[in-house]
Structure formats: structure tokens, C-alpha cells
Structure 1
């Protein structure tokens, strides 16, 4: 239990003032002032009037008013000191200085407030120290990363740049305060065009006598209420070289496997045909030649698929009416259309998108889904057209989902790994994208997103 409190102190002082007022009133009206006045009248023949009750009240007021002011000063003095200390502490906190502590030691409510204030200051100091350490760590990481980082404000001035950015754009000198557009005014055109846009970009420039490929990531956000732009320039030459080598290795493995699967039977059948011809058994030769023809036809189709993937033409975007488009698609594959075909036309290359949907619907049937479970759905959000092909098969594992869109990756024994890769190539050529996801109630959903003109979106 608190031994002292403001309430108890105020109670004691008010009680003291009350007792003092009562004693003064009694002293003026009963004893000893009346007796003193009587003695002065009898012994000294002094004519001193005896005070009445109103005089007593006035005398009490004359004594109690300064006494009450003194008591109020006693009560409010520590409160005033604490308020002045808190005012100075708040001003220090506003300036970012959390080292202020109040050195008043009390055992009342003010003491509790002082203790809580000092604990708050200690917490803020620890958080400030931890934040400074994290900022130092983050700055060390950012400054020493090989990715060139440039942060500019709304006017295009560089607010922050790491070491890689300084070496890339200003020969190691500071970029702070400079206009980024002026820094790259003499840079290669590919770099300038990439920075003028708002999307991520991949571009190549000539540096030190060789071609260097960069990936530009850029984001616009608000910092302290003001718009800023963050640009990250990452050198991709080595990574692309490794990816290119890995892709060629996959191509060689797939092509070698397919060639062996076709040439080995052809070689064996050719030897068997020659042996049958030597023996004069010509009745079995047509079957041998027919098998050789089938293997050669399969090999020709395999090579032709790779050639078409490598020579994919630029999309010829036109207005496409949905009803005849789906009627033509239904001649090549079976599917259930979700809802009615929109009456408003869409804009894309009908030949390429039809090929994509044929491949996706074919994959859906090969997944083991029932024919009724293979569906095609349409929806439009803003300026994006979404075409979804869904099935009721087993779906894909996380590993397969992560690699399914890569060229030459296939989980089928006879697959070439080009179907989904071709769909990705066509969608990206349209400026769109493709995504794969497992359905919650079973099956796989492949979403093709294609951008549409503003007039169509409205």
C-alpha cells in the first residue's frame, strides 16, 4: 500500500487548514482574545472593542487565505516541477533524443508517473539502438550487393544509390542530388528506353568491349508521403549463359533420346528387311517398310514441332468473335464451355490462341479427367481477358508446377516438353501471361491472361 499520496497529503493540509480556522475562530470569540481584551480594559484602562462574530470571520479569513495559498503551493510545487520536466522530455523526444530521464524520487502517484516515463524512455532508447543496428546492417548489405540500386524522388533526383550504382553510372562518385536522367543521357539507347518505361525489362548494352545483359526491376511507392521510384539493375550475363547452356543440354538430351527411339528401330528394321530380301521372303517386306515409314513420320513430326517453336511468328492481333471461334475450336477438341460466349469481340491472334487452347484441352484430357470435367471459362477484369482451362485430374505436385512452363520439361514418356512452353511463348508475345494452379476441389486450372485495348475494357 502506498505510504504517501497526493490525496492523503491534500487531506492532511485541508484538515490542518480547517483546524487552524476553528482555533482562530474560538480564540477570537471565546478564549483567549476576549479575556485579553477584558484584562486590558480593567488593568490598563484601554478602550478596546470586543470583536463580534463578523469580526471573527474576517480575522479567520485574513489568516486562512495566505495559509491556504501556502498549502496550495506545497501541494502544486512538485506537480509543477514534474510538468516542466515532462515538457522538456517531450521536446527532446520530438527532436529524436531519448536519453532524458527524470531524477525525481517520490512515493506517490507522481512517482509512478516518473517511473513509467523513465521506463518508456528506456524502451525508446533500446528500440532506437536496435533500429540503428538494423539500419546499419541493411545499409551494409545494400551497399555491398552487386545489384545496382538507385532511388529517385518525384523530380528525378537521386536520393540514394549504392556502390554498384555509383560505379555503373558515375565512375564511383556519389550520385546523391543529381538528376538520374542527366546521368544516363549519354548511355546506350537500350538502357534509356528501359528506364523510361514503368515495367521490368531485360536489355543488353556494350560495355568494355563486350555485350552485357541487365535485368531492370522498378517500383513506384510513397516514402514519407512523397512518391519515389526504386530501380534495380542486375547483371544477367553469367546467369543467362548458365541458363543457355542448361537449356541446350536439355535440348540435346531430349533430341538424342527421341532420335535413338526412332533410329534404333529403323536401323533394326532396315537390317531385317535386307535379310528378308536376301532370302526372297518379299511378303513380309511391306510390313517392314510400313513400320519404317511410321517411325520416320513420327521423327519428322518431332523435328517439325521444335522448328515451329523456334520460328514462332509475331502475333497478328485482330478482333475475334467468340461464337465462331469456339465452334472452330470444338472441331479439334472436346470441352465444356462455362457460361455463354460473350457477344463483345476480343483482340488476339486467333490462330495462335487456338493452338494454345488445343494443347491445354488435350493436356486436360490426358490428365485422366472425365470428358465432362474439362471446361473452358472466360472472364474480363479491367483491361485483362482471362481464359481458364480446368480439369478434374490429379493436379500437379509443387515441383512439377514450378517447372511445367520450362521448355523441354515433360512428365510424359513420349512428351516433348513444348506444349506448355509454346503456350507461355504465345501468351507473352501477346503481352500477357500464363499461370498454373491446383484446384481446391481437385484438378488443375491453367489461366491464360491477355491484355485488351481500352475501348474493349470499357
Structure 2
């Protein structure tokens, strides 16, 4: 019957058959002359027994399939996707078991794919030259790669150790950088010499717990290469400037010598000496610019009234003050900040901005001081913006590329930030931010 009827059809057929038997037995008993009440009771009893027997027979494939599904879903919950169900003959149950088997196969493929990706990611991390540590909120190291083991524990395993128990065995500079949650460059020395490292810290929530990711990267080779490139550029630039000045000076000196031998050439001789003096002045300014950049002292911060700073700058470089000055005094090195502002205003004028379009706005809060200088010059392209603050980079034909780099050095020395942005409608906006954090260390 299961071959030709659906589950619903078999249940209905069973009920009709049981009803027929239950009503047929009283009729047979009556025909045989038995008591009517006894006949109906006997028929009802036998009908119920038949119904229960047939229903159990009919529903056995369903209960078997449901039990198999229950066991399979429990395996899914436990992460076991390897079990497949036997396909029953009934069409409806076959559909359900086929769907279950398809889901199981899909989950198996997904698990294999995830495992392969995790294996690949772990291989990449383990072979990375960057030292990586993952620390949970109880300060236990729950993941590390080979570089971290080599750097912090001479190649021995560190997973499961407390970070504070591990650090005393590490170089003190690394210990200090990790304990202080530093982000940036630092140096340390071991038996192999001095190394430059970059440390980065980040936090995130994993499994409802706060975790800390520490990444330490060896930067010695990159910094050495960059330093060599900078020195090559400096040498080329200095050589170019010296040749530009010494070649005409040598030629003019020879011309002057020839003119001295000729009477009546005093005026021409004066021009020769004027040109020589001009080239010497340019060369002096060039070398002084490099000297000021190389010998920039540490800032000597003090409280400065903002109006006094403005009064010192305006006679040298004209600009417009936007808004009102903060009531509280600023805290910085007045000489260095004045030098930075003069360089920036000079750059704005050289970029084609009128003095009236150069605006300076100063504001402050409990955390720091912000100076925003805006102009309506030619602005900068995106490529130039990326390199404008680098030493020796200049778009000017006679520029030496130290103005903006010197400004950045001054702001960095104060622990601040400098940002260059193109203005809508043309021009450039330079934002200088100085913190108050150096108040206690003023000299």
C-alpha cells in the first residue's frame, strides 16, 4: 500500500477500513443471532484494535524518519555533519531526507572550505615577519605567531602565558612599548645591534570579551633604505645648488679678471661683483635652510598670549585674523610656532593668494589648540598633497623643499598634528593642532 498511496492517503484508507470492519462486525453478530449491545461493543473494541495496529504499521516509516532526523539534527548541533539518512520509499519522507542530506553535504563543504581558509590564514600569519600577539581581557596570550615567539621568548611557545610574566624576559624597550600601549616607532638594542621597530595596538570584542591585538614590525631595513635614499637626494640637491652657484661665480671671476686689465670697465666690473654677491647670498640662504632644519632644538613651551603672537607676525607677513582669539593663553614654543606660521603664510602668497584672502583662525579647548590657515591660492593636486610634508620635496623651480617639512618637524616636536586640505572653490587649508600634554614638562 505504501507504494501506491501517499502518507495522507494511507491514513484515510486505514480509517475507512477500520470503520468498515467496526460496522461490519455488529452486522455479522446480528446475523448470527447475538445480542445487539454485545455486538456493538465487540465491534467497537475490535475496530479500535485494528485501527491502532494499522496506524502503527502505517506510521512506522514516519516515526523512523523523524527519529533519524532528530538524531541528525543533534549531530548538527554538536558540529558533526558526516551523517546521512537512508532514503525511504515514501515520496514525502524521501523529499525531507533528501533535503536533510543536501544540507549536510553543503555544511560539510562549507566546513572544509573554512578549514582550508583558516589553514591558509594561519600559514600566512605564522610565516609573516611581523610579530603578532592576541591577548584576552585576563592578559593571557591566546594566539601568537613564530616571529613573536622568536622576538619575545627565544622561539619557545608563549601561547597561554600571562603577558606580564613574559615581558621581563624581553628587551626593556619592547616591554616599555607594550606596557604603555604605544603606537609608532622605537629602537632597541640586542647582541645583533640596534633595531628599529614599529608597534601597533588595537582592541576588539571577540566572544563577548575584549581582546588586544599587538603587532610588532621590524623596520630597520626599510628605514635604512629610506635613509640612504634621502641622503642620495640631499647630495644630489646640494650638488645641484653648488654647481648652480659656483659655475657662474667661477666664470664671472674670470670675466672680472679680464675686465681689470682693461681701463674704463669699472661699471661692468661692478655688475660682475653684484652677480657674484647675489649668488653667494643665495648659497648662504640655501645652507642656512638646511642647518635650521637639521638643528631644530626641542620646543621650549611656555604660556603665550595669542595677541602678542599675532602682533609679531603681521608686520612680517600680512594676513587676516578670522574670529576672536581665545581668552586663555596658548602653550607652545613661541619662536618655533612663529617660524612655522611665517613659512605657511609665505607659501600662501607664493601660491598666488592675495593677503586679504589669507585667513588665520585660532581656537582652543581642554585638550589642545588649533590653528587653521586658509588661502585662495592654486591649491595642490592629490599627488602633491601626499608628498608636500616630506623633506626636499618642492614643486617650485628654485625651492629646496624645507618650508613645509620644517613646519611638520615643529608641530611633531610639540606632539601635535598638521593636515593639508584643498578648499572648495580653490585654495588650501592648513590645520595645526597642538596638545596641552606638555604643560608639566615645560622648561
Which TM-score band applies after superposition, normalised by the shorter structure?
0.7 to 0.9
**In the alignment, what sits opposite 2:434?**
450
Q: Rg larger in 1 or in 2?
A: 1
**In the alignment, what sits opposite 1:86?**
69
**Aligned partner (choices 272, 287, 290) of residue 271 of structure 2:** 287
Which is worse superposed, 421-430 or 59-68? 59-68
Alpha-carbon offset, residue 239 of structure 1? 1.8
Alpha-carbon offset, residue 197 of structure 1? 1.4
User: Unaligned 5+ residue runs, structure 1?
Assistant: 38-47
Q: Secondary structure at the match of 2:203?
A: strand
Q: Secondary structure at the match of 2:194?
A: strand
Q: Secondary structure at the match of 2:201?
A: strand
Whether the aligned pair in 1 keeps the contact of 2:152 and 2:166 (CA below 8 Å) is yes
Q: Secondary structure at the match of 1:185?
A: helix
Distance (Å, rounded) in 1 between the aligned partners of 2:56 and 2:321: 87
Q: Secondary structure at the match of 2:252?
A: helix
**In the alignment, what sits opposite 1:119?**
102
Q: Secondary structure at the match of 2:83?
A: coil
Alpha-carbon offset, residue 219 of structure 1? 2.3
**Aligned partner (choices 168, 172, 176) of residue 151 of structure 2:** 168
TM-score normalised to the size of structure 1? Answer: 0.82
Matched, 1:274 2:257: yes
Q: Alpha carbons of 1:12 and 1:81: their partners in 2 closer, same or farther (altered >3 Å)?
A: closer
Distance (Å, rounded) in 2 between the aligned partners of 1:381 and 1:130: 53
Matched, 1:34 2:18: no
Query: 1:256-283: per-residue Cα shift (whole Å, max 9, x none)?
Result: 2222222223323333333333223223
Query: 1:350-388: per-residue Cα shift (whole Å, max 9, x none)?
Result: 332333233233323333446565444556788465444
**In the alignment, what sits opposite 2:160?**
177
Alpha-carbon offset, residue 306 of structure 1? 1.0
Matched, 1:403 2:387: yes
Alpha-carbon offset, residue 122 of structure 1? 1.7
**Aligned partner (choices 220, 241, 247) of residue 264 of structure 1:** 247
Whether the aligned pair in 1 keeps the contact of 2:153 and 2:170 (CA below 8 Å) is no
RMSD: 3.3
Alpha-carbon offset, residue 312 of structure 1? 1.1
TM-score normalised to the size of structure 2? Answer: 0.85
Distance (Å, rounded) in 1 between the aligned partners of 2:79 and 2:358: 63
User: Unaligned 5+ residue runs, structure 2?
Assistant: none
> What is the correspondence of 1:18-417 to structure 2 with a 5 Å cutoff?
18=16, 20-21=18-19, 24-25=22-23, 28=26, 31-37=27-33, 48-51=34-37, 56=40, 61-70=44-53, 72-73=55-56, 76-105=59-88, 108-280=91-263, 281-337=265-321, 339-369=323-353, 374-377=358-361, 383=367, 385-417=369-401
Q: Alpha carbons of 1:117 and 1:350: their partners in 2 closer, same or farther (altered >3 Å)?
A: farther
Which is worse superposed, 316-325 or 412-421? 316-325
Which is worse superposed, 109-118 or 426-435? 109-118
Distance (Å, rounded) in 1 between the aligned partners of 2:362 and 2:42: 98
Distance (Å, rounded) in 2 between the aligned partners of 1:331 and 1:113: 88
**In the alignment, what sits opposite 2:11?**
13
Alpha-carbon offset, residue 430 of structure 1? 1.7
Distance (Å, rounded) in 1 between the aligned partners of 2:110 and 2:365: 44
Distance (Å, rounded) in 2 between the aligned partners of 1:439 and 1:105: 73
